[in-house]
Amino acid sequence: MYKRILLPTDGSDGSLRAIRHGVDFARTLGAEVLVLTTTPEFHTFAADAAMLELTRDDYERDSAAQAARRLEEAAAVARGAGVLCASVHVVSDHPHEAIIGTARERRCDLIVMATHGRRGIKGLLLGSETQKVLVHSTVPVMVYR
């Protein structure tokens, strides 16, 4: 059925729970997983304090280190379950586009991701990367809550 499952992570607890469930699902199917994390591009004028306080090189180095930690945490879950795992870090201001693009480029046949569970006006104002993936992806999406 599914052979390659994409597991996006933002480093949150919900994301890690979704990874655990995605890895368990992959193990039962004999599928492999691809773990993805994204970081925003550096902008000289930004609301993100890290971008205002750091030089481009410092920001990119810190972002890469943070991404490596996220990916290693997820890869450890897969290794512990005996599931083949690859990982990728994408720099993008639009995580949902990176998720959808990676799923397409890497020929993933399922995306398993978390939702932060924001509802009502808060969810509407903040938006949801999960919602955007659900709306725009041609690859099936399993949402873990």
Tens digit of each residue's pLDDT (9 = 90 or more) over 64-115: 999 999 999 999 999 999 999 999 999 999 999 999 999 999 999 999 999 8
Closest CA to 79 of 37, 36, 20, 123: 20
Q: Please state the φ and ψ torsions of residue 4, each to the nearest 5 degrees.
A: -135, 120
Which pTM value belongs to this model? Answer: 0.88
**pLDDT, tens only, 29-55:** 999 999 999 999 987 665 566 556 678
Q: Label residue 126 by pLDDT band (50, 70, 90).
A: very low
What confidence score (pLDDT) does residue 120 get? 55
Size of the chain in residues: 145
Q: Which fold has domain 4-144?
A: Rossmann fold (3.40.50)
Average pLDDT, stretch 5-9? Answer: 97
**Cα Rg for the chain, rounded, in angstroms?**
15
What confidence score (pLDDT) does residue 40 get? 92
What confidence score (pLDDT) does residue 55 get? 83
Q: How is the chain split into domains, by residue range?
A: 4-144
Residue 122 CB neighbour total at 10 angstroms: 9
